[in-house]
Structure 1
Amino acid sequence: MTDFKDYFSTKSDSYAHYRPTYPHVLAEQLATLCKEKNIALDCGCGSGQFSLLLANYFEKIMATDASSNQIESATPHPKITYKVAPAEEVPLPNNSVDIITVAQAAHWLDLEKFYAEAKRVLKPKGIIALITYQNSILNDQKSNHLIENFYGKTLDHYWPPERRLVESGYKTLPFPFPEIEFTAPAMIAEWDFHQLYGYFTTWSAFKSFEAAGGAGEIEKFKMELAAAWGDLETTKTITWPLALRVGYFD
């Protein structure tokens, strides 16, 4: 059994509600790389954000996550089978999968074991895509400064070391597949203050800092960001830069 670093089960409902939605065109672009569109495997699926997009292009989706709470919070879909299973131990036969996606989760995996499992289940020339997004950016310099300070200074020592892989856009991840050049679309949302702050509460470092007695500093950040925001019901454009490593099983 693979060791599972579980940072998200305790707030799986918040994760499902507050995480941003991937652009539909991303799933479409990945689907066009596949020779067949029979089975997609979405590992570390969380509550199914990316699995649901894959269902628009593939006949069947196997969506797995090691967290039973995340799977319980997943959105049902007739094409999607949700399973509690680590990405390193997939309940699928050899050479059966057209594409494997891992959205904002590859940095938590035992990559050596995961890659071996990916090579087992992928069809020849099957696609593998590791997807990550980086910090949110607003068209508001003061809010951005407050968020960057909270992320990089207040929470700095509470981020797991794997977070640095996200910050690199996965460029520092080992990736033992012939690579496909891929231009990622932007991930954009129109959110009010409450939605954005709710997203911050899903951060692993936020939870660790809160548990360590950081509630006062968190409340200070919330009040300062609210003051910079203005009308809390007003929506603002938020962008998350997307980065991918895309390859195929040779």
Structure 2
Amino acid sequence: MNRSPLSRFSNHSEDYQKYRPRYPESIITYLEQNIGLKRDQLIADIGSGTGIFTELLLKSDYQVSAVEPNEQMRNQAEIRLKQYPKLDHVSGTAEQTSLTENSVDLITVAQSFHWFDLVQTKTEFKRILKPGGHVLLIWNILQQKSQFLKAYQALKDQYTDRKPYVEKLETIRIENFLGPAKIVRQEIYHSRLLNKDELLGYFRSSSYSPIQGEPGYENLVAEIDQIFDEHQQNGFVKLEYDAKLYFSSFT
């Protein structure tokens, strides 16, 4: 399954919105306390997808420009978040956002950094950021401490056509991108419980998952059933995450 970054999620947008983990609300408090984020400032959420992190910002009454190149995912966000008057949807990429020069106080990138051309993106972020603005990179990293999470990761490894996340290599890319300014790091633990249907939906939300009707889909369903039945307690399995935050003044 070889898809371009732009098209990878085109058949996964509904599952992505329904089953991907949210982000802990304490992220907002942390940002307000550590970078002085204020309600009248503009946030650009780049690679915003279906608006999962965007919604967290909007619920805290921030003005947000959500920049997303994938039409299906952007449409999901437009429908779901239409009640928020402080939201502007933008068809654009990290490399070419189309946002106004020196207009943005904070750039957020939730779970999409690995898709970017980092040289072009850094130039674009410097263009749109106000002096003294910040860049925040965020990942929800699924832990692998329990036997269930180890089994789930092994199943993911069978299906992915992408190189696995290697923390040391990704850290080097982050430091090169956010530097030479000081980089602040923070981890916030959170968890959730999923039933069997939700676990399958969560797997299907990944860009590498086969969709119904594609080769391998029925085998995937059977393997999800097996893993769930072996590890469930009272009809649920527990997924545990570390929300990893990296931010800098990007000067």
Q: Normalised by the shorter chain, which TM-score bucket?
A: 0.7 to 0.9
Counterparts of 1:93 and 1:180, CA distance in 2: 25
Q: What's the counterpart of residue 104 of structure 2? A: 97
Which of 180, 184, 190 matches 2:193?
190
Q: CA deviation at 1:204?
A: 1.8
Do structure 1's residue 42 and structure 2's residue 45 form an aligned pair? yes
Among all aligned residue pairs of Structure 1 and Structure 2, give the percentage whose two residues are the same amino acid: 24
Does the CA contact (< 8 Å) of 2:58 and 2:86 recur in 1? yes
Worse-superposed segment, 35-44 or 93-102: 35-44
Q: CA deviation at 1:54?
A: 1.4
Alpha-carbon separation, structure 2, partners of 1:92 and 1:148: 38
- For residue 95 of structure 1, report the CA deviation from its aligned partner: 1.3
Gaps of 5+ in 1: none
SS in 1 for 2:27: helix
Q: Which residue of 2 aligns with 1:10?
A: 11
Work out the number of aligned pairs and report it.
239
CA gap of 1:6–1:34, structure 2 versus 1, over 3 A, is farther
Structure 1: how far apart are the matches of 2:144 and 2:28? Answer: 23
Higher mean alpha-carbon deviation, 187-196 vs 93-102, is at: 187-196
Determine the structure 1 residue equivalent to 2:221: 219
Q: Structure 1 residues 37-46 or 193-202, which shifts more?
A: 193-202
- After TM superposition, the score normalised by the length of structure 2 is 0.84
Q: d(CA) in 2 for partners of 1:14 and 1:243?
A: 23
Q: Which moved more, 1:220-229 or 1:112-121?
A: 220-229
Change (3 A) 1:205 1:181: same
**Residue 172 of structure 2 corresponds to residue 172 of structure 1:** yes
1:129 to 136, 159, 172: 136
Distance change >3 Å, CA 31–CA 159, structure 1 → 2 = farther
Relative to structure 1, is the Cα distance of residues 58 and 99 closer, same or farther in structure 2, using a 3 angstrom cutoff?
farther
**CA deviation string 1:25-74 (max 9, x = no partner):** 11332233146541000000011111111124454100011101001101
- Give the AA of the match of 2:161: W
Which residue type is aligned with residue 105 of structure 1? S
Distance 2:58 2:227 in 1: 37
Return closer, same or farther for 1:112/1:221 CA change in 2, 3 Å cut-off.
same
* Worse overlay, 110-119 or 187-196: 187-196
